[in-house]
């Protein structure tokens, strides 16, 4: 008998394909990253991220309602604060009346069912664009962790459902869990960016927040030696086993979810982390991945919607329980039309 196997029987038409499809996507798989700025009625498009805006709190809340109506159930919040609020300690990060804290309160007031996950890292507040405090030319781990705990607790006080540390300092999950519990926030979860690589795919995001590590500018005001990149805390993209180690440590320290970042170029890591932990694995489909698709589509070189859905499905297939993506709204819209 030839051929012995006819795999094509299961691919004959869309009905049979839909019956045997192994992975599915729904709007509830997505988290939407949002950039918040001061002011009122502000929506400023980010040049390297077409379709993505920095919004003032009022318009952010409106957008969150629209996202909720599309079936999206979580937002990741980032803020762009003015330069005069930035220093080396990042102390604006735990100002109870800071931009982030006000944004969280406003969203939770108007759309209480939306899961709000603020980013916990000092870079938007650092005059040097680093995720930690600089001392003697290096990022100081333990004092940074102390600062991050204050930041996380202030987010919880403002009403955050989850905090999402993206800084990659050692020991921050344990300290954050202890800090949240001590302050009474036993139900505030931690989504740890466990395997966050030092990646050039974050370029457009740093444009959005103006948070690229900046050496020269600040040596003028304060002569400090500033590391030129984030490689002493974010991971080396040549490494695989290290990602599993980091994820397991975070599970041990009390993380409720772990995240792998970036997404599509790191799907081997997603699968391995998924196979090694027993908590949900999130994936961040980052700014550079978004920008590449937008740019190629603008040139007419790729089919935007098809590539978008393929990438998101492949991230899910690799083992993601949830995906943080700038495509969340567009993809949810398409999924809802079906
Ligand atoms: C910083 C942070 C970054 C991103 C999320 N949180 C940038 C960085 O580490 O420099 C990148 C997200 C993206 O590129 O979409 N704590």
The catalytically annotated residue of 261, 274, 316, 329 is 261
Confidence of residue 232 (pLDDT cuts 50, 70, 90): very high
Question: Average pLDDT for residues 257-268, to the nearest whole number?
Answer: 98
- Nearest atom in ligand 1 to the alpha carbon of residue 129 is 10
pLDDT tens-digit readout, 214-225: 765 555 556 678
- Nearest atom in ligand 1 to the alpha carbon of residue 121 is 16
Lowest mean pLDDT among 151-155, 158-162, 224-228: 224-228
ipTM greater than 0.90, yes or no? yes
Predicted TM-score of the model (pTM):
0.95
Confidence of residue 239 (pLDDT cuts 50, 70, 90): very high
State the pLDDT at residue 221.
58
pLDDT tens-digit readout, 77-122: 999 999 999 999 999 999 999 999 999 999 999 999 999 999 999 9
State the pLDDT at residue 305.
98
Annotated binding-site residue numbers: 246
Label residues 270-302 b or e (16+ Cβ within 10 Å = b).
bbbbbeebeebbbbbbbbbbbbbbbeebeeeeb
Please confirm, yes or no, whether 196 is among the known catalytic residues.
yes
State how far the Cα of 150 lies from the Cα of 95, in Å rounded to an integer.
Answer: 9
Residue where the block lists tokens 């664009």: 129
Mean pLDDT (the chain) is 96
State the pLDDT at residue 215.
61
Confidence of residue 166 (pLDDT cuts 50, 70, 90): very high
How many angstroms does the Cα of residue 193 sit away from the middle of ligand 1?
A: 10
Annotated binding-site residue numbers for Mg(2+): 246
What's the burial of 4, exposed, middle or buried (CB within 10 Å: 0-12/13-18/19+)? exposed
In the chain, the DSSP E strands lie at 30-37, 43-46, 49-56, 74-79, 115-120, 133-135, 138-140, 162-165, 189-196, 257-261, 281-285, 322-325
Q: Where are the alpha helices (DSSP H) in 21-140?
A: 57-69, 99-110
State the pLDDT at residue 212.
83
State how far the Cα of 293 lies from the Cα of 305, in Å rounded to an integer.
Answer: 9
Domains of the chain: which residue ranges?
Answer: 23-259
Given this structure, which CATH class describes domain 23-259?
alpha beta
Lowest mean pLDDT among 124-128, 137-141, 218-222: 218-222
């Amino acid at each position: 008998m030839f051929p012995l196997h006819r795999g094509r029987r299961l691919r004959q038409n869309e009905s049979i394909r839909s019956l045997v499809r192994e992975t599915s996507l729904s709007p509830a798989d997505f988290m939407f990253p949002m950039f918040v700025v001061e002011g009122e009625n502000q929506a400023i498009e980010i040049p390297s991220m077409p379709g993505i805006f920095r919004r003032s709190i009022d318009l952010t809340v409106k957008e969150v309602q629209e996202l909720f109506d599309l079936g999206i159930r979580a937002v990741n919040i980032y803020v762009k604060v003015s330069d005069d609020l930035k220093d080396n300690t990042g102390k604006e990060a735990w100002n109870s009346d800071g931009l982030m804290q006000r944004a969280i309160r406003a969203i939770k007031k108007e759309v209480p069912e939306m899961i709000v996950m603020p980013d916990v890292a000092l870079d938007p507040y650092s005059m040097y664009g680093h995720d930690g405090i600089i001392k003697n030319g290096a990022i100081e781990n333990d004092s940074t962790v102390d600062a991050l705990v204050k930041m996380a607790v202030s987010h919880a006080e403002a009403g955050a459902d989850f905090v999402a540390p993206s800084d990659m300092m050692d020991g921050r999950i344990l300290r954050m869990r202890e800090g949240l519990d001590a302050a009474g926030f036993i139900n505030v979860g931690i989504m740890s960016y466990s395997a966050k690589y030092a990646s050039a795919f974050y370029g457009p995001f740093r444009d959005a927040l103006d948070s690229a590590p900046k050496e020269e500018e600040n040596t003028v005001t304060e002569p400090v030696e500033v590391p030129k990149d984030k490689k002493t805390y974010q991971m080396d993209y040549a490494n695989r086993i290290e990602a599993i180690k980091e994820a397991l440590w975070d599970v041990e320290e009390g993380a409720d979810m772990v995240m792998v970042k970036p997404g599509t170029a790191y799907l081997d890591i997603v699968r391995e982390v998924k196979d090694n932990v027993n908590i949900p694995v999130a994936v961040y489909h980052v700014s550079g991945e978004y920008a590449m698709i937008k740019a190629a589509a603008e040139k007419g070189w790729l089919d935007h919607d098809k590539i978008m859905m393929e990438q998101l499905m492949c991230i899910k297939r690799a083992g993601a329980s949830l995906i943080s993506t700038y495509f969340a709204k567009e993809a949810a819209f398409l999924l809802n039309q079906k």
